[in-house]
Structure 1
Amino acid sequence: MDELSARSDADGGTAVVSLLGAADLAFARGDTSAAVDLAARGADRARRAGLHGFLPDAHTVLALSALRQGDMSVSAQFADQLRDYALLGRTAHGPSQCAWAAAQLLEVRGGPASAAQLIAGIATDDRLLLELLTSQPTAAAWLVRATRKLGDEVLARRVVAGAGALAVRNPGLCSVGAAAGHAAGLLDGDPDGVLAAAAAHQDPWAAASAAEDAGKFLAARPAERQRAVEAFESAADGYAGAGAPWDARRVASRLRALGVRRGRHPQYAGRSGPDAGTLTNTEAAVAELVSQGFTNSQVGERLFISGHTVAFHLKKIFRKMDVASRVELTRAWSRVPGASREGARAS
């Protein structure tokens, strides 16, 4: 009986590892829907088999996929959980990835300062930094941006040095080389270097991220406006193709600032049905963020609109969803088809 139980545990562990590995691959190629499905199945198998050490890995994929899709209700649920996993050492597999995911979620919710402890913890620990840059090369550019927002150039340079050293040791890994070039270009303010990284990235989301970064550098130079537009257009298309509507909408806002309007905004994930079906994409995004407790000004910052515009959208949302307050909106929004399904995945 003990032998049968051991064999069952081993089989269960193999199935969990297989599902989570497939989820990682799906996320890397930009198929967030498949990543969510595989990670949710992996988490379910892990719980049923009592293999709770795998849950942080599953939750990391679920959280990053939700963030990329713009589903803030799910990503917010994971932020504190992943932070605790990382800080308390409750994950034996990929602790750096767990910390990185938590840092991204916390930054979105409360700005870089709220994730400072995790960011510094990764960037100052040689083992964690190497582990993260090996498994998630795109983390290099994010860490450079985050450390510079915190005003810590020393940490930014440390990340770039780590990414560069990893690329030198692994010349055959295109993703590692592209990530190192992206991080170095960010540190140096070199749009051409970042564009070269965008062309080298094999991950479609990473390529879009590099194109956006290059566009920001170019947009600051009046003579380079057309190149900035081209970079942002490439980023918007890349994000849309990688299942990242949140990022695509941000780039569309950057294009509008340059006088360029794209015809259609990407959809936010997980929100449709009779109660919310009449909402526009922007109204749905506002409802999502308000239901998470963000103020009008915080919602505006995330959607690149003014707080007054958020208030205007809220009036229309209240009317369309037949609610009279933010509290009632939060309750109604939690019952929108898709919300309960995503909530189940987060449990």
Structure 2
Amino acid sequence: MVGGGSGISGDLMSDDMLERDHELREIARILAGARLASGHPNVPIIAITGTEGAGTSRVLAETADIGRRLGYRLGPRGRGEALAAGTRQALGAVPQDAPVLLTVDEAHLTGADDLVMLHVRAQEAANAPVVLAAAGRQRDDGTADWLPADDTAVTRLSLRPLTQDAVREIIARRVGAPPTDTLARFAAQAGGNPLLVTELITGLVEEGAVRVVNDRSAMLRAVPSGRVELLVRQRLAALPRPYQQLLQVAAALSGRPDPLRIRSIAQLSGAERDVLDQASSSILLRRSDAYVRFRSVLAWLAVRNSMPALLRAIVKTGDPGDASRDRSADQAIPSRPRRGESHGSDTGPACPWCALTDTERTIAVFVSEGLTNREIARRVFLSPHTVNYHLRNTFRKLGIASRVALAGITAGRHPHDHPRGPAGD
């Protein structure tokens, strides 16, 4: 990003602003043009749209900074649910000869008429060019009910998911080195959502689940961070209880985040459509006319894990005894390497170590570090009983009978960059 007359800072972009330079340059262009206009030009409303976690609020904050650098007077910052007369009245304190920038966050909580009226009355009160920048959510088909019907009055900037290059850059910044292919593929399961990516990597760093090995950021275990689990569960808890249970059952029944078929959306009741809109504008779901699906593998996995293992087993097989064998819930969807990529190991597929799942290898690493089953359980988000189950499988596969023998085998491997990454469970 460049400085100068554009009003855009030349500083290194923060993680949540990666790949948003195009939108920021367009915002700077609009603000620069409106500032030079005379009288009461038909200044467009700047609408910043995206699904939850796309960074609309952050781009709106940067818009205010750009406006300030360009000489705008900033009006009171509003939120969608609080577009009140107080916002307009406060404009009386703004110098009448200065252009004004109003910012409204969570605009999806208000209506298009309110936004237009706010813009018009603000121009009248300020007696100067007034730009209104609003940030809010959009549906997966790109629609947003809060946008004015007159498209000519709106300049819309829709935020896209991050590319894999941007995800790799976030990992490098947060961990301190470029990621291995395994870690990059694991992070890609956030679906390019900036919020999920940053929460995933930040959580893995905090939990000691990633480490720099041979100048590369590598995983110690292929499970989502607790921060991601908490974030998804908070969004799930915001839905009515029957819909929470519906998503949990759907996640438990599927072996991957396959589409959840529903009857035609046109046949749903108004209340059902409202709940669906709420979930599909969040990090939980995405939808088309025929189906909804989990927005990302990580969202699916976190919803699945929010159901106790015993209930998952009953829902899936009808047999509560299968709870300890429901291993797929603590692992992400296997990601196969692309041609020419390496998992970072030259061990052959026939060796006993390679026959272990990622969970079993991760637990073996912690055993070699002297952790108890209960301590390991806290690290890998499993019960001590399930950890013991994985250890028994590991002993059987390796032909050993003690933790000491397991520690000896693990010491001869690469415990900080598992050969199969998230695959294998």
TM range (shorter): 0.3 to 0.5
Report the structure number with the largest CA radius of gyration: 2
Relative to the length of structure 1, the TM-score reads 0.34
Relative to the length of structure 2, the TM-score reads 0.29
Greater fraction of residues in strand: 2
Greater fraction of residues in helix: 1
